[in-house]
Amino acid sequence: MAIIDCPECTHKISDQSASCTNCGFPTSKMNFLIKCPECSESTSNQSNSCTSCGFPIAKPSPFKAAPPPLPTNNYTTIVHVNRKSKGVAALLALFLGGFGIHKFYLGQTLWGILYLLFCWTFIPAIISLFEVIILLFMNESEFNKRFG
């Protein structure tokens, strides 16, 4: 690799570049001496082979700009996060079911108020024990369908 002068603007450029970086004059039209990679003798860049040993002279490949970046597919994945847990609902029904706290947790506000109104009768506490069993044996998908 050698530094040469551009014949158009006399700007210093590499002999390996495809064109002058200052004026854009193509190096393929420039005539300058290069060293043969095989025998190190000087030969013209316009010749196809070394005049001394016959070694083929490679022409510099034309400069190619980098291709534009490929479009990216920005997919947004929506994940449905279940806010209600079957285990939490069962524990609330077991320990605080007489007050209807599990009903408030599950979004059944009217039932929660009824349980609170009748908590002094212990009827909601008995019903909530059955609800604990129902919640424990319920599928996760069915729970999510009902309360999710």
- The reported pLDDT for the residue numbered 86 is 94
What residues contact 28, with CB distance under 8 A and at least 6 apart?
18, 59, 60, 62
- CB contact burial 123-137 (16+ within 10 A = b; e otherwise): ebbebbeebbeebee
Does residue 44 surpass a pLDDT of 90? no
- The reported pLDDT for the residue numbered 109 is 95
Number of Cβ within a 10 Å radius of residue 13: 21
Residue 59: what are its φ and ψ, rounded to 5°?
A: -85, 140
H or E element in which residue 146 lies: helix 140-147
Does residue 4 surpass a pLDDT of 80? no
Tens of pLDDT, residues 115-137: 999 999 999 999 999 999 999 99
- The reported pLDDT for the residue numbered 10 is 75
**Greater model confidence, 40 or 96:** 96
Q: Does the pTM of the predicted model rise above 0.85?
A: no
- The reported pLDDT for the residue numbered 11 is 75
DSSP string over 83-117: ---HHHHHHHHHHHGGGTHHHHHTT-HHHHHHHHH
Does residue 19 surpass a pLDDT of 80? no
- The reported pLDDT for the residue numbered 81 is 67
- Reported confidence tier of residue 29, pLDDT bands at 50, 70, 90: low
**From the centroid of its chain, how far is CA 145?**
32
